[in-house]
């Protein structure tokens, strides 16, 4: 049964063009091709990334935060109340007035005490600036190294450099999925999950069918703006507002150019138009382009959030570093 499903899943006609089989992608006469088995190491590497991240945040990011004057804020803990805790964890973190009145009677607390309890309880779960700074430091470091690594892989025709670029990028995004329950929960949590999954599927597929160059370009386009965003977050948490604002403006420009112009009008255009000049469309062709379009829709969603913040800043409704309002949204 398993063998039948395996053979059906890897059927040539699903993933490859007509007149091309997996046998054609076997290594021979000095030619080396990418294979699905190369990606198995991304799972243990993703776990290794979690260990490296823990050490980095503890030994590098934490001292850096201390030097920038960032400290963990201590919130007052909510008093023990099984009734209120059950409602908080199972129903809502922000009860309405009618529910507050009912909880007041059940817990033998005044309405004001119930409101204060929920306020303190929410503050307990709110991530501190130190945690955000450590996460941003880790992502900034990876995106910076990955961006320059991507440039090297793009201009290097050797499979080894492209292999390591793919493996490290996929392992990194895999580690983000593993740590999603412990990281700062952003406002676009669901969109982030979709983005990570679509990215992993897209990279895995592009590697298996040897669409390596376009996969490298997609990763490079993403890393270019991510570096600027994470650096802007770091300066925001350190309260360097002018530097943060300047970096955010540069980030917004790079984001619009790379993800709303280069990504759809160059990359998707190449994958959508040119292949049909050489062979009829097939399932893998549609699958690959659908993954790219999903990423494009996410880019449009995030671009809307960015432009909304820029508008608030330009018209004077936001006077401090406006990245603070969206630092948990990208």
Contact at 8 Å (CB) between 241 and 320? yes
C-alpha dist (Å) from residue 118 to 110, 159, 189: 13, 55, 23
- Give the other-Cβ count within 10 Å of 137's Cβ: 23
pLDDT tens by residue, the chain, 330 residues = 677 787 787 788 788 888 888 887 787 777 778 888 889 999 999 999 999 999 999 999 999 999 988 877 766 677 788 888 888 778 777 888 888 888 888 888 888 888 888 887 777 767 778 888 999 999 999 999 999 999 988 887 667 888 899 999 999 999 998 888 778 777 667 777 888 888 898 899 899 888 888 899 999 999 999 999 999 999 989 888 889 888 988 999 999 999 999 999 999 999 999 988 888 998 989 999 998 999 999 999 989 988 888 777 666 655 445 444 444 444
Rounded Cα distance between 75 and 92, Å, is 20
Q: What is the pLDDT of residues 76-88, one digit of tens each?
A: 677 788 888 888 7
Rounded Cα distance between 168 and 40, Å, is 12
Given this model, what pLDDT does residue 315 score?
Answer: 66
Q: What is the pLDDT of residues 245-289, one digit of tens each?
A: 889 889 999 999 999 999 999 999 999 999 888 889 989 899 999
Token pair of 188, please?
């676009």
Q: Going by C-beta distance under 8 Å and a sequence separation of 6 or more, which residues neighbour residue 107?
A: 81, 83, 84, 114
Q: Going by C-beta distance under 8 Å and a sequence separation of 6 or more, which residues neighbour residue 153?
A: 161, 162, 164, 165, 216
Given this model, what pLDDT does residue 100 score?
Answer: 83
CATH class of 82-125: mainly alpha
Measured CA angle at 221 (ends 217, 292), to 5 deg: 70
Torsion 85-87-92-95 (CA) sign? negative
Long-range CB contacts for residues 309-316, cutoff 8 Å, separation at least 24: 310/249, 310/252, 313/245
Burial per residue of 37-60, b for 16 or more beta-carbon CB atoms within 10 angstroms, e otherwise: eebeebeebbeebbeebeebbeee
Hey, where are the domains in the chain? 20-69+128-327, 82-125
Q: What is the pLDDT of residues 188-205, one digit of tens each?
A: 677 778 888 888 988 998
Given this model, what pLDDT does residue 229 score?
Answer: 92
3-state helix vs strand vs coil in the chain, percent to 5: 75, 0, 25
């Amino acid at each position: 049964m398993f063998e039948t499903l395996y053979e059906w899943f890897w059927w040539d006609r699903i993933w490859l063009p007509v007149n091309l089989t997996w046998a054609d992608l076997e290594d021979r006469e000095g030619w080396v091709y990418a294979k699905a088995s190369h990606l198995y190491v991304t799972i243990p590497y993703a776990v290794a990334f979690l260990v490296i991240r823990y050490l980095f945040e503890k030994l590098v990011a934490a001292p850096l935060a201390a030097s920038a004057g960032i400290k963990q804020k201590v919130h007052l803990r909510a008093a023990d109340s099984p009734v209120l805790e059950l409602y908080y964890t199972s129903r809502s973190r922000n009860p309405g007035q009618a529910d507050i009145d009912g909880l007041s009677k059940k817990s033998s607390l005044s309405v004001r005490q119930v409101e204060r309890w929920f306020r303190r309880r929410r503050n307990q779960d709110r991530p501190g600036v130190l945690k955000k700074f450590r996460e941003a430091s880790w992502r900034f470091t990876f995106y910076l190294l990955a961006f320059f690594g991507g440039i090297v892989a793009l201009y290097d025709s050797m499979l080894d450099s492209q292999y390591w670029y793919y493996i490290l990028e996929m392992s990194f995004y895999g580690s983000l999925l593993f740590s999603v329950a412990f990281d700062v929960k952003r406002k676009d949590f669901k969109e982030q999950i979709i983005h990570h999954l679509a990215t992993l599927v897209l990279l895995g597929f592009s590697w298996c069918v040897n669409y390596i160059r376009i996969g490298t370009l997609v990763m490079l386009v993403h890393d270019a703006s991510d570096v600027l965003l994470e650096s802007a977050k770091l300066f925001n948490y350190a309260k360097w507002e002018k530097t943060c604002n300047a970096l955010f403006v540069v980030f917004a420009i790079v984001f619009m150019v790379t993800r709303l112009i280069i990504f759809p009008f160059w990359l998707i255009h190449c994958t959508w138009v040119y292949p049909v000049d050489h062979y009829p469309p097939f399932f893998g062709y549609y699958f690959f382009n659908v993954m790219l379009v999903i990423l494009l829709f996410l880019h449009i969603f995030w671009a809307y959030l960015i432009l909304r913040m820029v508008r608030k800043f330009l018209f004077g409704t936001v006077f401090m570093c406006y990245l603070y309002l969206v630092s948990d949204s990208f």
